[in-house]
Amino acid sequence: METGNFPISEYKQNLVLNPYWSSLTCFANIIMGRKNLSKNTIRNSFNELVDKDDYVNSEKRQLSKFLYSLTKEHWHSGEQRKTSVGSI
């Protein structure tokens, strides 16, 4: 279990395993269900890792709220992570 730090190595592995996904989709997939990630951790990691061409800058605040809401999703232990991020 993470200690509030963003799992960068898992994110990078997700990029490699899913070459047709955007960096934003990979980011969203990694944070789903990780309730211990703070808003600041998500925001800072987003700014560092997500390609700026993957989102419209004027929607960044709304996108940030959506991404944080993904941490509240419930995952059953042992369930494989899946992508259900809609139209991102």
Choose between 68 and 4: higher pLDDT: 68
The residue extents of the domains of the chain are 8-70
Q: Give the C-alpha separation, 72 to 65, whole Å.
A: 11
Q: Does residue 78 register a pLDDT over 60?
A: no
- Contact present, 15 and 26 (Cβ < 8 Å): yes
Give the pLDDT of residue 52.
95
- Torsion (CA) 42, 29, 63, 75 in degrees, nearest 10: -80
Does this model's pTM top 0.85? My answer is no
CA angle at 32 for the pair 31 and 37, rounded to the nearest 5°: 45
